Each structure stands twice: as structure tokens, then as C-alpha cells.
Structure 1
Amino acid sequence: MPFTEKRGNKWRVRWWSGKLDPDTGKKLYDSKSGFDEEADAYEYGLDQESALRNDRYISRRDGSTLMRDYCRTWPDTLDVGHLRDKAVRSMLRLHIVPRWGDTAVADIKTSMFRAWEKQLRTQPTERGTPLGKPYVDEIIGVFRMLMDDAVTDEMRASSPVPVVNRRRGRYVKKAKEKKREMVMEDVLQLASNALCYWGFPGFVFVLTKAFTGMRPAELYALRREYCHPAWPTADPDRDQRREASARYGTTNALPAIRVEYQHQRENGVVGLYAPKYESHRSLVIPPFLAELHEMLAASHAGEFVFTAIGGGLLANSNFSYHYWRRIADGREPTPPKQGGKARGGGSWRPLPGWPAVEAWAGKRFYLVRHGHKAWLDEDGHSRIATESRMGHEVAGVEGLYSMVTLGMEKQIAASLQSRWEQCLARLPEDWALPPSPSPLPVDLSRWMKQQVKSAKESWPESGS
């Protein structure tokens, strides 16, 4: 039973919190002061004991924990990858602790949360622009998990964050990124631009991206033993090698790539990690791309299939800025050197210049992956084969019962090869590859002429 006591002109009530001191084993009591009447204090104590009996009670001692203290230990309870862990700690440090650090966990109200969320969505960055909606949604998601765990830890009775599907306020249509159809002529121009800037590896890199839909980090970490022509024979996993050889090997002669790793940076060091969502998968490739990979593999003995211009890891470069923007947005010819330096601060390499690809100027490199998905949909491939190729899982009964068959993969390889050949069949007779900034390890011009000739013979109606 609660007991009351006079404290000056007010009454205080004390009640057992339901906990024992871990050192002495004595009961721990909570209390509340400031009541004018003894009856009111006693009634309040009865309410707290009732909440304790019905598992609704939140100890005032636990609820008084400051958010800065809770945020200091909470991230250690998360079982996430290193990049996610870094992002969560960053959002706590930059946004959650500065606003809520001096507030007790139990004192955060829903109205206070809504005001903070509104402020976040209009808060300007150092550049004067508001925080992006996806980033704010990430912050709110972290705060929601934080409050849900506070409820589990019996520091709050409920979360102050409203249910996600609750409609409140004005309807705001979700903004979607504008996309344009990825056409083969643009892809070929992008590959040609990469040839001018990057050389033969860049030409193959762009085509591999467009015809496999691999994520950028997966391409950066593509090792020789997991790429055609070495794979699956060179796969270090014996069981995986045996299974893949039976499916793609000499009997079916279906060239393929194995997505086994992606490059990520942890503590400033680039390392090999499992692909996003553990989406290990095998990707069949069309014959023309297989020939390019054979030539690329024969041109160097490096560990990774694609390397930076200087021979290092692509993951160590700002690919979007130093590679993709130059490839997609075009570039003027490099001015001649004067006094040992390039005029205008440009690259010292003698580059001929190349045109911008209008459909891709200013667009993200990742959208090439989206374009590959659209190709598969346009060619009518099954949803299970398409989503599996993209590294996604199909939910529900469809994903449980269906599977990707060898016939589905052969159809994908055939449709991608047809798309390549029909594009070449439409090229004008005087079409030629642009020059490369460095000597090519293969006679790429001769190979392309053979490809164009074969395509025009196979698809005469495409060129008319």
C-alpha cells in the first residue's frame, strides 16, 4: 500500500516500484510530491500500484534517464552492417541528441515529436537547401526504433511516434525521379565515350553495367575468378563450382558472371563484403559481352576485372564525379600543355573530346540499372527471373513456389544479344569507334566491324 507524509505545506506519496536494489536486495520506492491534499496523494499512489499490477507501470527512475545517456548505449544493441551502424550513429550525433539530449526519455510527447519532424523537413543545411526527404525519413525511422526500444526497456508506456499508416495533414503527392527510356544507341554512345576517356576497360564496364544491371559496388568488386571466362571453373567454392559447371558449363556453354562481393569502406579501408541484401546470384551474359570479357581478361592479370585509370581500385575513386559525369555529360578536347601544365586546369592526358549523351546528361549512374530492369520487362521475361537477376526477392506464394530455370536464363541472354545486334544493324555505313587515349590491348575496331557486319546480315530489316 502507498504511504503519505507531510512535506512542508504539501503532501508526498511513496510506493514500491516493483524492483529491488541489486546490491542490498531492499525494495526500491518511487515518490511524487506537490499534492495539496493527503487524499489526492494517496489516490495517486493507488493508481501507480494498480499500473504496476497490470504491467503498465513505468518507473520514474527509469523514465528520468536522459536521452543523451540512452543514445550513448542504444546503438550497441543494433545488429546491422558497418555502413548502417555508421549512418545511425551519425544521425544520433547530428540531429537526435542535439534536440532531445537534455530531455528525459519518458517526457517526450507526441506533439513535441511532430513539431520536431516539421522543423527537420524545413531545416536548411549549410548550403541553404533543406534536408532531403529520404534523409529526413531515415532520421525519423531511427528515432522510431529508439522510442520502440525505450518502450521495450520499460522506460516509456508507449512510443510518441505516431503509427506510420496514420493519415494526418494535407495530402502531398510523392515526388518521383524523372526517367527516360534507356535506348541502345545511347548505351553505345556512353560506352564509346568511356573508351575515349577510360580506354578498353571503360568500354566493357559500361556495356557490362547495361547488360547485367549489377550495382556499382558489385562491379567495382568483380574479381577475375567470378567473371567469364574464368567462372565457374575458377570458383573457389567446390560445391558452388560443381553446381554452376553443370548449369553453365560445356554442356550448355552459357557464359555467366557470379555476383559474390561488393566493395565497401570501413574505417577508411576498402574491403570485400557480401552484396546488398546478401543477394549472391549468377548472371548470364549475351555472347558479344562474353567475347569482350575474354579480351579484357587476356589484356591484364589483375585481381579485379575493372580497375581505375591509374590501375587502382574503382572503389577508391569518386566514380560518379571523376568518371560518370565526364562520360555522360561530354567533354571538350584537352587543350595543349603549356609550360608543363594543362591549360584551364584540365587533365594532362591528351583527350580528343566527345559528345554529351542528352538522355543521360546530369542523370545518376545508378539509373542504368533501372534501364536494364525495363529492358527485361519490355522483352516479356518472367517476374521471378527478372527480380532474381536484379538481386531482389519476390515475396509471397510466387516467390516461394517459382524458380529461375535454365530456359529462362537462355531467353534472357538471347533477348539481350538481339537488342545489341539490332542496334548495330541500324548504324550508318560510315560509323566507327572513336579513338582511345591509350593503345588498346585488342583490335577493338576490327572486332566491332565484324559485329556490325554480322548484325546487318542477321537483321537486314533493322537497317532499312
Structure 2
Amino acid sequence: MDPDATGHAAPRSGVRLQPGKRSLRKEWPMAWVEKHGRTWRVRYWKDDGTAGSVPGFLTHDDARDHAVTIQDRRILQPPARTVQADAPLAPAVITPTEGAAAGLCFADWLETWWETIDIGDNTLAQYKSLTKNHLIPRWGAVPLTDISPSQVQVWVKDLYTTHTPSTVSAIRKLLALILTDAVEEGLLTTNPVRKRNRGRTRSHDPAQEKIWADEHEVRAIASRVLQLASPNQALLVITAAYTGMRWGELAGLRRENCHLNGSQPRLVINPQSGALHEINGRLTYGPPKTPASARNITLPTFLAELLANELKRHRHAHIFTSINGKHLRRSCFGRRTWAPAVNGITLADGTVWKPLKPGLTFHGLRHSHKTWLIEDGLPDVVQARRLGHRMDRDIDDIYSHVATALNDKLLGALSARWNRSLTPPSG
């Protein structure tokens, strides 16, 4: 249904939704729709006379439908029971949250919550997406104190019918985080997002085994990437598998961070600008995922030589590029190059590539590297240092005394794998 001339929604029920006048706030619970930047939001009068807001709707119709939901919910609320002047009053039951959270809806608390958190840009973008697409549509207009464990459980159960377990887990964890902070703020006494302890639980399902590739499969994938894209991107695959670097660290790797000469060639992940971040289509240099991710990654001789030759071949500031010499974008590389290389494709000339490693993701190369380290008998501390995982300080101090010997073992094992990959696998 079209909005009226002022942009305010007129619901299907015939009840007109419009900005409430001060004199009407008590007897006429109003809700209306407003343009808010590139999106729409629903505004409504709360019980305390202030205006509440539910933002993040992509279209006017979505916002209007939510406004109708708010309107209908409040109109159908039973009127307060009147008490005769001489009738005795029942004893008042005061809860810790009464007054602090009375009438405060989830969306109102969320606006405050955004101002309290300190997280990276990627995490913030993910949180914004989850709240806009999942949390706000369901819980935006609901008072915090009205969110019950059973409601949350039913909602989460329904999410599993349309979303992957990992997505549902992320949604549930974010809701739990937001409401945990509401408890700490004194707005709730307990968090309604609770651990499942009855019935069938997905946590008891067998964990899906992570897909990884051996050295022969990595070389075969790189060979296909060479044909689909370029030698540069084939080297990207090899570097990922033999260093365990994340996508953002590889896409953001620049010349000044490559120290390929001398007795110990290495790549340096800068703590301030060691990763390329892609947020809402915009590329920026920034810190790697965690403080421990800022590290030096030693290289086996063969990989240092391959990278040195690549730097001679082109003059770009960043090491790995698109075919046109631009920054790599994960989605483009994954769709055009990675997916057909690992999952198979029929080429334009009719050549059929059978699947090499169905389901393997680019991040799976990082898991492959860790699996190789385990197979080659490298201790946990070496794995953590190599992959940029946080370690206990005492363990790190002990490692520093044997770092040279363990690093030699690590590089020797990687070189042996590379040499094995040069000959076809037996059997």
C-alpha cells in the first residue's frame, strides 16, 4: 500500500499510522515510517512519551509492515484495570530492572550498544548485517523484558530450517552478546539466550571434517589456476598453502614486506597495515585479524625464489594482483577462478575438468598448512607462531630458546613436500 503525501504508512487494517501529536500520545498509540539515509525506519511512541526507533529496513513496504505489526500489537493490548479509590492496593513487586528498562525495546538498546563496542571493521560489518537482516526484524520493537528463553529457542529452531548451522550460530551468539551487555547494564536480570540442555542438540552432531589438500592436490589446483587466470595467481595458491597466510594477508602483501635475500628469507605482516580489508565493496589496508597475526613468516628456499622471480616480472606495489594488475577481491577470485579449479568445469574448448577437491575453500589452504605441520611432527608452539595464533607468554619464552632448530625442521619439511609434489603421486 502506498504511503500518504507525508511518507507515512497507511496499514491494510485501515488504522492510519501517522506521527502522534503530543495530546494524543496516551490514547492513540502511533507508529510511522521515515526515510533514514539509504534505508527506512519505523518510529513509534513509547509508554514514557518518548519516540522509539526500529531502523534498518531496505524498503518502505518492509518498514510499513513492521509499523503495522507494532500498531496492532499495541492496539490489542488490554486496557489497564481500573481500581476504585477506596480499594486496597496490592503490594508492589519491584524488580531490579523496573524503571530502568520499562518500555525499552531491543532496537533502542541496540542504538546505545553500538556506541559501547570496540571491534574491527570486518566484525562490525558482520554485526551490522546480522542485526539488520535477522535481529531487528524479529526483536526490534520487543521490550527487552518481554524477550523470553522460550521465544528465543523457538526462533532459533526456525532459523535452522532456512539457514546453515554456522549462520544460525553467529546470529544466536550476537543476540546473546547484546543481551549479556544489557544484563551488565542492569536492564535485565538474566539473559534469555541460554544454552540448550534438553532435547536434540546440534552440538552433539558429528563435527564436519574440515577439507584440506595434500601437496600434490595443491600443485594440481595451482596448475588449473594458471590456465584460468595467471602465473601470479597460481603462485598465490602455492604461497597460501606453504605459509598458512590468510586471504587478507596475501591480498595485502606489498613489496616492502618481502625480504627474500639473505640467509633467512621471510614475509612480514605489519601490525598496522598487514591485511587488505574488503568492507561493503571498499578496499582498505588495516591491521591483521589479531595482534598475534602480526608476525614474520620464514620461507623455504624454493618459495623465496619463486616470489623473487615474480617481483622481477611486474612492477606493482602489491605482490598478488588481478589479471589487470588491480587489487584482488575475494568474491571475484573465488567465483571465477577458485571454484572451477577445485570443483571442476567444462572449458570453452570442450575440455572437461573433473573435481579435484570438492568443497575445498581458499581458507582450506590455511588448514592444509596446519595439517602438514601436524603430520611433520612440529609442536603446537610452532604451529601457533606460524599461523599467528596467540600463545601463553611462558610457552613463547621457552620457544625462543629452540626457535632456530624448530624453524630449520619446519622449512626442511616444507621443502620436502614441494619436492614430492614435482613427481606424480604413487598409486
Query: Given the two structures, how large is their TM-score scaled by the length of structure 2?
Result: 0.72
Task: Report the CA distance between 1:61 and its aligned residue.
Answer: 5.7
Name the aligned partner's letter for residue 167 of structure 1: N
Tell me which amino acid in the other structure corresponds to 1:159. N
Partner of 2:192: 160
**Counterpart of 2:338?**
324
Deviation at 1:40, TM superposition (A): 6.5
Partner of 1:82: 121
Note the alpha carbon deviations across 1:8-37, whole angstroms, 9 max, x for none. Answer: xxxxxxxxxxxxxxxxxxxxxxxx976689
Residue 72 of structure 1: how far off its partner (Å):
2.9
1:67 is matched with 106
Alignment of 1:215-364 (within 5 A): 215-229=246-260, 250=262, 253-260=263-270, 261-266=274-279, 268-278=281-291, 279-315=293-329, 318-335=332-349, 355-356=353-354, 358=356, 360-364=357-361
Quote the offset at 1:332 in angstroms: 4.0
Q: What code does the residue aligned with 2:313 have?
A: S
Distance 2:424 2:201 in 1: 49
Q: Secondary structure at the match of 2:160?
A: helix
Distance 1:185 1:213 in 2: 17
The one-character-per-residue Cα deviations of 1:354-405 (angstroms, maximum 9, x if unpaired) are: 74452x1342222111111111111111210112111112358645754471
1:188 to 219, 242, 256: 219
Q: How does 1:101-180 map to 2 (within 5 A)?
A: 101-122=140-161, 130-162=162-194, 164=195, 167-172=197-202, 173-179=204-210
Aligned to 1:57: 96
User: Does structure 1 retain, via aligned residues, the 8 Å contact 2:277–2:284?
Assistant: yes
CA 1:305/1:72 → structure 2, altered by over 3 Å: closer, same or farther?
same
Cα RMSD over matched residues? 2.9
**C-alpha distance 185-110 of structure 1, shift in aligned 2 (>3 A):** closer
Residue matched to 2:386: 389
* Inter-partner Cα distance in structure 1 for 2:188 and 2:323: 56
Q: Is the Cα contact below 8 Å between 2:241 and 2:365 reproduced in 1? A: yes
Preserved contact between residue 75 and residue 85 of structure 1 (Cα < 8 Å): no
User: TM-score scaled by structure 1?
Assistant: 0.67
| Residue identity in the other structure for 1:259 | I
Q: How many residues align?
A: 342
Counterpart contact for 2:212–2:365, Cα < 8 Å: no
Q: Is the 8 A contact 2:211 2:359 kept in 1?
A: no
Residue by residue, what CA displacement relative to the aligned partner does 1:60-94 show, whole Å, maximum 9, x if unpaired? 36322122222233222211112222222222222
Name the CA distance, whole Å, in 2 between partners of 1:120 and 1:36: 48
Q: 2:14 corresponds to which residue?
A: none
1:57, CA displacement in angstroms? 2.4
- What amino acid does structure 2 have at the position aligned with 1:271? T
Amino acid paired to 1:297 = L
Amino acid at match of 1:408: L
What SS class does the counterpart of residue 272 from structure 1 fall into? strand
Residues 314, 216 of structure 1: CA spacing in aligned structure 2 closer, same or farther, 3 A cutoff?
same
Distance (whole Å) between structure 1 residues aligned to residue 136 and residue 234 of structure 2: 47
Q: How does 1:432-443 map to 2 (within 5 A)?
A: none
Identity of aligned residues (%): 27
* Distance in 2 (alpha carbons) for counterparts of 1:389 and 1:354: 37
- Tell me which residue corresponds to 2:230: 199
Gaps in structure 2 of 5+ consecutive residues: 1-79
Contact 2:100 2:186 in 1 (8 A): no
> Contact between 1:66 and 1:102, CA under 8 Å: does it hold in 2?
yes
Q: Alpha-carbon deviation of 1:264?
A: 0.9
Q: Residue 416 of structure 2 is aligned with which of 408, 415, 418?
A: 418
- Distance in 2 (CA, whole Å) between partners of 1:118 and 1:67 is 20
Structure 1, residues 172-202: CA drift from partner, whole Å, max 9, x if none? 4334334556222222212222222223212
Deviation at 1:150, TM superposition (A): 1.9
Matched, 1:43 2:91: yes
Structure number, greater radius of gyration: 1
